[in-house]
Structure 1
Amino acid sequence: MPWLPFRPRKTEEYGQLAEWVELAQQGNPSVRNKLLEDYIPFIAKTASKTSGRYIERGVDDEFSIALSAFNEAIDRYNVQKGTSFLAFAETVIKRRLIDFYRSQSSRSKDRLLSEFDVEDGEENVINQIEIQKSIDLHKQTVETESRREEIFRFTEWLYEFGIDMEELVEISPKHADARFNAMEVARTIAEDAEMRAYLLEKKSLPLKLLSSKIAVSRKTVERQRKYIIAITLILIGEFEMLQEYIQ
């Protein structure tokens, strides 16, 4: 079987590609598998476009859903309707992902606004505002869960250094200058391999090493010890959201 192009010319799309789809519909498993394999870039691209973020094969649920939708499109495609197969497959993928996002949300949906209703190519009416809300809501849910997981890991790590999250809130420097200076100390430690190793091994600040790197009052550093340690852990750990927050 010849290679199936990712972006076939129009004549190929309505001709050769439609023929391969028809063969797959007739029960040829090798043709179906070849279609699924060769159009993985198209599937991933459509999923990414619909989700608004990069979708990776074998990592994101959206890819599996999109792959299943593409397979569904093979079964449902009707060349007599005059729509190209790829356009039809894109529509099916988008609808299945939208269904997925809707299923992830327990919130009630806003009333459909008729002026935003459009036909999706399957002769169904969909609402663009509702689609975007579903996608946005899913993103918010993912971000909330990721933030919760980060805070849990951070809290557990702080405990190893004898620091309590509630205590950290209370002892955080109140003045902007003090916070800035403490963060600069934390960055100095985070960027120095020897000081990082000392902190992680001894569970305390490398005061001697630190004094040789920057001119800072040892008394001030000791007073802000827990806060500096916490900021350093955020900087050297896998805490993407917390890092954005402190910056």
Structure 2
Amino acid sequence: MAKWALITGASSGIGWATAEALGAQGFSLFLTGRRTERLNNLAGHLRTKFPGIQTKLGSFDISDRDETQEFLKAHYADLAHVDVLVNNAGLARGVDKIQHADIHDWDIMIDTNVKGLLYMTRGVVEHMVRRNSGHIVNIGSVAGRWTYPGGGVYCATKFAVRAISEGLRMDLSGTDVRVTNIEPGMVNTEFSKVRLQDQQKADKVYEGMTPLRAEDIAETIAWCVGRPKHVNIQELVIYPTDQAHVGIVSRRSE
């Protein structure tokens, strides 16, 4: 019987790389995201690279409760077979201090990073509990442990991911369902472009240093998922070597 992994935010970055990493482990993949064309491209790529696996797609906005509930309802039977849920979809918007910030940016971050993660978890975990098997991997951030100026609300959403991960693990105590929280530092994906709404500004975030790659995080997720069932990697903080802490980055001059 096929092993199934569901990945949110699969159309780019860590989500895309995780699909490849889990596909290499033989997982069939349920890929979700907002960009239908990107999801179709990923599915085609995976079927060529891993002809033994199956793919299913779900195109919806995880920050929209109605769209997410519609997806969960429509695919209720499929979700019963999900062995691994990777709650990857997430974003930051803006770097303004709280007193100057755009409240719309707050809503987007909270609805995506916290509510969307909760909706998807609720929709999948009940099946895992019924089967007494499964693994939920949440993509948090070092911002879920340490705060920085201009990032208070984004950090709050990732602090929430850490709290949800810990609370869920406690609620699942006595079952064989595992929960892992992966907390990366600087990763060069679309993250900074989405946050700053400017590619040149995004490029400067990683100037003079070597950030993590999406593949680095994907490999870590695959490793956690591949541990024996009696082993639960509860949380992992992952920095690039050039980043000693939030806001402490070694940069080389050209």
Instruction: With the length of structure 1 as denominator, give the TM-score of the two structures.
Output: 0.22
Larger Rg: 1
- Higher normalized strand content (fraction of residues): 2
**Higher-RCO chain (CA-CA 8 Å, sequence separation at least 6):** 2
Larger helix percent: 1
TM-score w.r.t. length of structure 2: 0.21
